[in-house]
Structure 1
Amino acid sequence: MIELSGLTKRYGEKVAVNDLTFTVRPGIITGFLGPNGAGKSTTMRMVLGLDRPTAGDVRIDGRHYHELKDPLTYIGALLDAKAVHGGRSAYHHLLCLAQANGIPARRVHEVLDTVGLTAVAKKKAKGFSLGMGQRLGIAGALLGDPRILMFDEPVNGLDPEGIHWIRNLMKTLAAQGRTVFVSSHLMSEMALTADHLVVIGQGRLLADTSMARFIAENSRSYVRVRTPQRERLLDVLATAGIAVAPGGGEALEVDGDKAEAIGELAARHQITLHELSPQRASLEEAFMQLTAESVEYHAHDGQPAAGPLPPQGQAQGQAQGQGQGQRPWGSDWRKG
């Protein structure tokens, strides 16, 4: 379990993280979302003791990171896949981590097999592609068989098979009762992976809720209806007290989840329907709705922004699977 209480980080006058309080619980995948510059990476760095909070507290299973003996056996993290000595092979990179944390060398072979890098274990990391680097970083996070896993953008550079693999891996970890905390900008993937969401904007907590509730509370759901008997259907729906709005083309839109009621009314009055389709918002739409006022960098769809150009070098708006050979990685190496 990861517990944040009033966590704050300032860099001079800049408040990167502002009084964050939330808990990342075991047994589920918690997605960590926010626009660029929201403070996600800074928050994760403070969890690992890489940055010192200006105020507040963060604990891992009740203790600060620096209080953990052999910390990789408590929490495994992937924050930067490039944080590897390029002259070391994948095997020796993991072996160094294992020796520093009292982990048997045989565990290195197990995690290399889990992430699909056994065939390139003796190759130097500087020759790895971005996707291979991500897999090596994930192997490092898994090395200590920890109860807590934390991943920052874990699918960067992975091909579709790799994305499917890491998604299933995270679900397996959560099903084993582990704490899984993952940050990503890939909304479609987060929608398939996360059970719970923590959303921040400009360093402040915006949401701490289930995936389903987040989408329901921050988006519009409606029913799209098309019929050649438009006026008759409008009369029937009005009589039933169902409000209707014009949609695109000849379609009608009815707010809420009323598809069954509309279908039954149409059947009862012998009205032909060409379309009766519930339209539910995506995670991306709900996220954009909630964070609209918290976006720090705005693009302008190819049109020049009003006002003077920003100073030289200032940041600009940015656009933004189970793998073969995978084996259960939670081995009993501690028993040996």
Structure 2
Amino acid sequence: MIELDGLTKRYGEKVAVDGLTCTVRPGIVTGFLGPNGAGKSTTMRMILGLDHPTAGDVRIDGVRYAELADPLTYVGALLDAKAVHGGRSAYHHLLCLAQSNGIPERRVGEVLETVGLMAVARQKAKGFSYGMGQRLGIAAALLGDPRILMFDEPVNGLDPEGIHWIRNLMKSLAAQGRTVFVSSHLMSEMALTADHLIVIGQGRLLADMSMADFIRQHARSYVRVRSPQRERLLDALHEAGIAASAAPDGALEAEGDEAERIGELAAGQGIVLHELSPRQASLEEAFMRLTAGSVEYHAHQEAVPEPEGWGAGWQGCAR
């Protein structure tokens, strides 16, 4: 279990983390979300004692990270896949970590097998692709068979098979009763992986709830309806007090999740339906709605001016 209590970090005038209080519990995958610059990486670094809080406290199973006798057997973390001595082989990188933490050498082979790197175990890490580096970082996190695992953008550089593998790995680790804390910008992947979400913006806690509750509270639910008797259906919905609007393709979108009521209403008035489907907005939409006011960097699309003489030049090419 990871417990954050009023965790705060300032860099001069900049407040990176602002009074963050939450608990990352065992037995589930907890997703850690926030816009760029929200303070996610700083928070993870403070959990691991790599940065010191300006105020507040963070405990791992009741103690600070610095107080752990053999930290890799309590916490395994992937924060930077490039944090490897390029001149060492994958095997010797892990062996060095094992020997300095009192971990049996047999674990090196076990975790290399787990992450699929046994065939390149004796190759130098500097020749690894980014995805292979990610796998090596995950192997290092698993080395001490820890009860708590932290992953920062674990699917970066992985191919679809690798993404599927790490997703199932995190779920299986949580099913074993371990604490799994994962940060990612890939909303579609987080929606398939996480059971619980902690969302921050500008260093402050915005949400701490289950995935289902988060989407329910922050995303739009509606029922998509198509009918050849569209106007009659629209009138019937309005008379029943159901707000509906036209979709770009001519279908109707009725607010809420009353698909059964709409179906019964249409049947009672003899209105033919070609589609009646409840829709739930995605995690990405829910996240964007919640964090809209906490985004530090906004991109603006600008019209690109046509280069001078473009038209004439194009016509010349055409000839």
TM-score band by shorter chain is over 0.9
Question: Which string of whole-angstrom CA distances, capped at 9 and with x for unpartnered residues, describes residues 7-48 of structure 1?
Answer: 000001110000000000000000000011110000000000
Q: Secondary structure at the match of 2:172?
A: helix
Task: Give 1:266 shift.
Answer: 1.5
Moved more, 82-91 or 241-250: 241-250
- The one-letter amino acid of 2:268's match is R
In structure 2, the residue matched to 1:211 is 211
Q: Deviations over 1:74-130 (max 9, x none)?
A: 000000000000000000000000001000000100000000000000000000000
Q: CA deviation at 1:284?
A: 0.5
Q: Give, in whole Å, the separation in 2 of the partners of 1:249 and 1:191.
A: 27
| Offset of residue 235 of structure 1 | 3.3
Q: Deviations over 1:229-276 (max 9, x none)?
A: 122223332343323223324222211001111112222322111221
- Say yes or no: does 1:88 pair with 2:77: no
Which position in structure 1 is the counterpart of 2:201? Answer: 201
Deviations 1:165-218, CA, capped at 9 Å, x for gaps: 000000000000000000000000000000000001111111101111111111
Bigger drift between 22-31 and 250-259 goes to 250-259
Distance in 2, Cα, partners of 1:303 & 1:54: 44
In structure 2, what is the equivalent of residue 101 of structure 1? 101
Q: TM-score, normalised by structure 2?
A: 0.93
- Residue 160 of structure 1 pairs with residue 123 of structure 2: no
User: TM-score, normalized by length of structure 1?
Assistant: 0.88
Letter in 1 for 2:243: A
Q: Distance in 2 between matches of 1:272 and 1:81?
A: 57
Q: Report how many residues are paired.
A: 304
Q: Distance in 1 between matches of 2:90 and 2:111?
A: 11
Which has the greater radius of gyration?
Answer: 2
Change (3 A) 1:27 1:243: same
Q: What's the Cα RMSD here?
A: 1.1
More helix by share: 2
The answer for the alignment partner of 1:135 in structure 2 is 135
Deviation at residue 53 of structure 1 after TM alignment: 0.3
Secondary structure at the counterpart of residue 185 of structure 1:
coil
Shift of 1:303: 4.7
Amino acid corresponding to residue 229 of structure 1 in structure 2: Q
Give the Cα–Cα distance (whole angstroms) in 1 for the partners of residues 35 and 130 of structure 2: 23
In 1, distance between residues paired with 2:231 and 2:82? 62
- How many angstroms apart in 2 are the aligned matches of 1:258 and 1:110? 52
CA-to-partner distance for each residue in 1:49-79, whole Å, 9 max, x for gaps?
0000000000000000010011000000000
Partners in 2 of 1:134 and 1:29 — Cα distance?
19
Indicate the residue corresponding to 1:148 in structure 2.
148
Q: Which residue type is aligned with residue 159 of structure 1?
A: D
Structure-2 separation of matches of 1:234 and 1:47: 54
Displacement, 1:149?
0.2
Distance 1:194 1:45 in 2: 21
Letter of the structure 2 residue corresponding to residue 299 of structure 1: A
